[in-house]
Structure 1
Amino acid sequence: MTYLRTWPNGAPEAAPVLLCLPQAGASALQFQDWQRRLGSRATVCAVQLPGREDRWGEPAPSGIAEVVGAVVAELADAGLLGRPLVVFGDSLGGLIAYEVARAVGPSALVVCVCRAPVHWARQGGLREDDVERLAAASVAGSDLPPELAAELRDIAAEVLRRDAALSATFREVPGAEPLRCPVYAWGALADETVTPAQLDDWRAVTTGPLHRHDFDGGHRVSREDPGALLGRLSHVLADLAEEEPS
């Protein structure tokens, strides 16, 4: 089964590509609505990791390097690497997005509620308390019967533990060439997981500019209130379109 998911969009062949990597435990499906909202302004291409939805029964990848290699190969096969490319990653997805960006040299890297790579290297991957907290958040506020909510929470925890193991495979490469593209590091004012200082440290990964912004909301801001985030992404995409030669 392939990693990349796309949806009909009517975008011209020269339109920017928005490659999206979801939060831990999440899937590519949330980005189908992003394609609907962005329309022909971009081709939204989302990464579906093994172990969820249509890839539920597949084995977990051996590490982030395996995921990056597969995603880059599929982008090349689809002819998407010759177009302006924005790589977007949400939380853990931001860490994988960074590794993809190192491999392909995109037009821009956008990370949301994701601490800078130096902090992943120091603190390791997602911990068990992260798994339990995120699993509980996935059913918080629902009207589901308690038994069903508990079952869904356990399923979410199983997927999150896979992603925790994946995150633990990240290693900084001493002396690695920095990115040259702009990096957009976005946070959420009520996020109790990622601090402003951890977002500020994205400055170290690129020779290009760092653009910082904090949204209202918490760690799940991309799913609970994506409107403001998509508005800013639209500006990033529009700036790329303006930079392209006519």
Structure 2
Amino acid sequence: MSTDIRTRWLRGVRAPGARIRLVCFPHAGGAAGHFHDWAALTPPEIEVMAVQYPGRQDRLADPCPTTMDELADTVTKVLLHERADDRPLALFGHSMGASVAYEVARRLEEVPGLALTRLFVSGRARPRVPQEEPPRPAPTDSEILDRVRLLDPAGAAVYEEPELRPFIMPALRADFGLLAAYRPARLHRLRTPVTVCGGDRDPGCAVEELTSWSDVTTQEPDIRVFEGGHFYLTPRKAELLGVITEQLS
């Protein structure tokens, strides 16, 4: 019988016979539940976990991280603490989650004896250093909602509900503020292979921007383009998971 993985930071379904653990990082304003059915759609050799950021759903009372370093440092410590075996890890991050996964990946590469097999990044260009793009002020709620409507027209409807806004805006506000300030001092080239995924009609990350990840890996990234917009991974879930399964096999 499978058992749930449910800690403050990690959610998923335990897969005792798995040979690799896939850790998923949600988009800004998103939650671990976005990946709730991935375990059922991947082979038992892959154990799927998702990160539950603070400030949302059952972590509504937990303060949101204010910097990328704070978030990535904490998630890295959690992953190392939760390792009950030497199973290798793979990371998948979508949108904001791509940046978080990259930062966690470079921290994990510094851990002796830890096997990080692949980083999957989705729907986002590689991080920008301050010389390329200075940090920006945190966006206003109006600017945030305009961005959400652009990237996720269907899902943005929930933010139009006045009674829900006090519960869902704080996390979204914190995530967008974190991203506005996030500018690593320099780019770290990962030894881990990188697969870059994106939608062919993503208004937030054009297909040409996906190649930017070649600047943060010692290997040529594998770029996969799917039909759809910023949240292509919902209608193209089976296709995306097919790629992930193939590359983790």
Q: By the TM > 0.5 criterion, same fold?
A: yes
In structure 2, the CA distance between the partners of 1:159 and 1:5, relative to structure 1 (3 Å rule), is same
Q: CA deviation at 1:62?
A: 2.9
Deviations 1:45-81 (A, max 9, x none): 1111111111011111131112212211121122268
Out of 239, 243, 247, the residue aligned to residue 228 of structure 1 is 239
Question: What is residue 117 of structure 1 aligned with on the other side?
Answer: 127
Kept after mapping to 2: 8 A contact 1:135/1:157 = no
Change in CA separation of 1:150 and 1:236 when aligned onto 2, cut-off 3 Å = farther
Task: Measure, in 2, the Cα distance between the counterparts of 1:137 and 1:154.
Answer: 21
- Alpha-carbon displacement from aligned partner over 1:60-104 (angstroms, at most 9, x marks no partner): 113111221221112112226832211110001000110001001
Distance 1:158 1:62, change over 3 A: closer
Q: After the TM superposition, which residues 46-195 of structure 1 pair with which residues of structure 2 at under 5 Å, given as runs?
A: 46-79=50-83, 82-105=86-109, 106-118=116-128, 122=133, 124=135, 127-128=139-140, 129-134=143-148, 140=154, 149=161, 151-152=163-164, 155-174=167-186, 177-195=188-206
* 1:4 paired residue number: 10
Maintained 8 Å contact 1:139/1:152 = no
TM-score, scaled to structure 2: 0.82
Give distance in 2, aligned partners of 1:198 and 1:47: 25
Inter-partner Cα distance in structure 2 for 1:61 and 1:182 = 28
Change (3 A) 1:119 1:112: farther
Which sits farther off after the overlay, 91-100 or 127-136? 127-136
- 1:243 aligns with none
Alignment check: 8 A CA contact 2:72 2:103 kept: yes
Measured in 2, the distance between the counterparts of 1:68 and 1:132 equals 27
Q: More helix per residue: 1 or 2?
A: 1
SS at match of 2:133: helix
Partner residue in 2 for 1:241 = none
Distance in 1, matches of 2:30 and 2:44, equals 25
Aligned mates of 2:198, 2:22 — CA distance in 1: 19
Contact kept in structure 2, 1:75 and 1:81, CA below 8 Å: no
- Segments ≥4 residues shifted beyond 6 Å: none
Cα distance change on mapping 1:77 and 1:153 into 2, 3 Å: same
| Structure 1 gap ranges (5+) | 239-246
- Greater Cα offset, 219-228 or 184-193: 219-228
Which residue does 1:44 correspond to in 2?
48
Q: TM-score, normalised by structure 1?
A: 0.83
For 1:161 and 1:42, how far apart are their aligned partners in 2?
Answer: 33
Letter in 2 for 1:45: M
Q: What RMSD, in angstroms, separates the aligned Cα atoms of the two structures?
A: 2.8
Q: Post-superposition shift, 1:34?
A: 0.4
| Kept in 1: contact 2:139–2:177 (CA 8 A) | no
Q: What amino acid maps onto 1:77 in structure 2? A: H
Aligned length: 233
> Does residue 1:210 correspond to 2:221, yes or no?
yes
Shift of 1:196: 2.2
